[in-house]
Amino acid sequence: MSDDVTRLMESLAHGVPSEEGMLTLGLHHWKVGDVVEAYKWLLLAADFNNPYASIHEKELVREMTAEQVYESRRRVFAFRSASVVVEVESMSPERRAGVPTDAIV
């Protein structure tokens, strides 16, 4: 994995979403043949209304099995859930007090 991709993975793991970073990771994983991970990142980038991510995501899904699509979507859900936890944990105590307790995992 290139240094750029490694840095992108680290920044995303720390809750720093970047639509361009997600698009880059999606294209990288597609290029190396990991369609499940590629589709995950393209779906996440498409959440930002990134037109390139949407185009590539629609193209990639035609190459995938139903099981691969399911696994990608499961990973997207897990990533989004982890991102919410990071966001809530990084809030000040005053802001966190306004978050419903069932939203804090």
> pLDDT for 23-72, tens place per residue?
999 999 999 999 999 999 999 999 988 899 999 999 999 999 999 999 99
Q: What average pLDDT does this structure show over 100-104?
A: 50
Please list, in sequence order, all residues whose beta carbon lies within 8 angstroms of the beta carbon of residue 81, skipping any fewer than 6 positions away.
Answer: 105
Q: Rounded to an integer, what is the distance from CA 17 to the centroid of its chain?
A: 8
Can you tell me the distance from the alpha carbon of 74 to that of 77, in angstroms, rounded to the nearest whole number?
Answer: 5
Structural Rg of the chain based on CA atoms: 15
Structure tokens, 17? 């979403």
Q: Give the residue with greater pLDDT, 104 vs 4.
A: 4
Flag whether pLDDT at 100 surpasses 70.
Answer: no
Q: Give the residue with greater pLDDT, 10 vs 22.
A: 22
Flag whether pLDDT at 105 surpasses 50.
Answer: no
Which residues span the domain enclosing 54? 3-103
Closest CA to 45 of 69, 20, 63, 62: 20
Can you tell me the distance from the alpha carbon of 78 to that of 28, in angstroms, rounded to the nearest whole number?
Answer: 20
Q: What is the pLDDT of residue 17?
A: 66
Please list, in sequence order, all residues whose beta carbon lies within 8 angstroms of the beta carbon of residue 34, skipping any fewer than 6 positions away.
Answer: none
How many domains are contained in the chain?
A: 1
Closest CA to 18 of 37, 5, 34: 5
